[in-house]
Amino acid sequence: MPLARPLLALALAGALLLAAACGDSDDDPGTIILATTTSTHDSGLLEELVPRFEERTGITVKVIAVGTGAALRMAGEGNADAVLVHAPEAEAPYVASGDLVSGRLVMTNDFVIVGPPDDPAAAAAAPDLPAALAAIASGGRFVSRGDDSGTHKKELALWVAAGLDPARLTREETGQGMGATLTIASERGAYTLTDRATYLALRDVLDLAVLVEGDATLLNAYRIHVVNPDKHEGVAGEQAEAFAAFLLEPETQALIGRFRAEEFGRSLFTPAVQIPVGGG
């Protein structure tokens, strides 16, 4: 007797809560789902930008952090309103099919190859990127994201460009996000490809150094695309467009440029729009 009554109360409360919670969310300015990469999410950038946008417009942005591949697929099925991704080759078919519209560059940073500070494969000494990759392939261990993310796609493209077949290399795939993959590489004394932002954010807890950087092919470009509302029912095209526009506003761009720059001594992301001197 002392027990069943609270149980019943709990059950009723739960039912009421669910019923009540289902009833809200009308006449608000709207909600968009932004599918994005784990790297933008793990760096914390969006958590800085999104609240500003929400405060100004009243539009709620649901940031879903998945790999670039999954983000694009969500967009292709109309399960997201906008995507912020960094895999141009993977984006192209969606743009061509009309699923994604009004794509534009938001920011860039660069990919770097990190590895054990003592560099057992002597990748840092290689004359160029293909040579560095060949050195790692023959003399080191490499840990790959293996999660169909933008970084993963980039890595595969780099092996191919260096004349190596990734399927025949002894790589280990983590299937996890950038942060987890960096940690695994650090623990195993292995090399990996990472975006600089995530690496910098985690640098202190990693036993990894930047060994290869600066090659033109290592540019990492983040684009925002709006999901075509004419092609997918239920897509909040207007709101998504507003968010895309917000990202390119000078003020936002300045914010991107400054994001955690003090902390790391350099910018994590380079804004796409040139900021006038003194701007921001």
Partner 1 sequence: MEAIWDGLVEAFRLIGTGDGELFSIAGRSLLVSGSATALAMLVGVPLGYLLGRARFPARTLILAAVGTGMGMPPVVAGLVIWLLLVRSGPFGGFELIYTKQAMIIAQFLIATPLVIAFTAASIQALPARLPDLLAVLGAGKLRTLWLLAREARLGLLAAVMAGFGAVVSEVGASMAVGGNLVGDTRVLTTAIVTETSRADTERAIAYGLVLLAMAFAIVAVLTVVQQRSPR
Give CA angle at 175 (171, 176), nearest 5°. Answer: 120
Q: Does 2 bind partner 1 (CB under 8 A)?
A: yes
d(CA 173, CA 87): 19
Of 15, 125, 160, 161, the one binding partner 1 by CB under 8 A: 15
Q: Choose which of 52, 64, 88, 215 interacts with partner 1 (CB under 8 A).
A: 64
Contact between 164 and partner 1 by CB under 8 A: the answer reads no
- Per-residue binding string, partner 1, 122-161, x by CB under 8 A, is ----------------------------------------
- Retrieve residue 40's tokens: 């933008």
CA distance 113 to 174: 16
42 binds partner 1 (CB under 8 A): yes
Q: Binding of partner 1 at residue 183 (CB under 8 A)?
A: yes
Segment near partner 1 (CB under 8 A); pick from 18-26, 93-101, 138-146, 167-175? 18-26
Cβ contact 190:140 at 8 Å: yes
Per DSSP, the residues of 159-215 read HHHTT--GGGS-EEE--S-HHHHHHHHHHHT-BEEEEHHHHHHHGGG---EEEE---
Would strands 100-115 and 219-227 be described as parallel, antiparallel, or unpaired?
antiparallel
Side-chain half-sphere exposure of 41, counting CA atoms within 13 A: 19
CB proximity list for 18: less than 8 A, separation 6 or greater? none
The mark string for 213-252 relative to partner 1 (x by CB under 8 A, - otherwise) is -------------------x-xx-----------------
To partner 1, the closest distance from the beta carbon of 264 in angstroms equals 13
Number of residues that bind partner 1 (CB under 8 A): 42
User: Can you give the binding site for partner 1, defined by CB under 8 A?
Assistant: 1-4, 7, 10-15, 17-18, 21-22, 25, 31, 33, 38, 42, 44, 47, 62-65, 74, 77-79, 177-180, 183, 201-202, 204-205, 232, 234-235
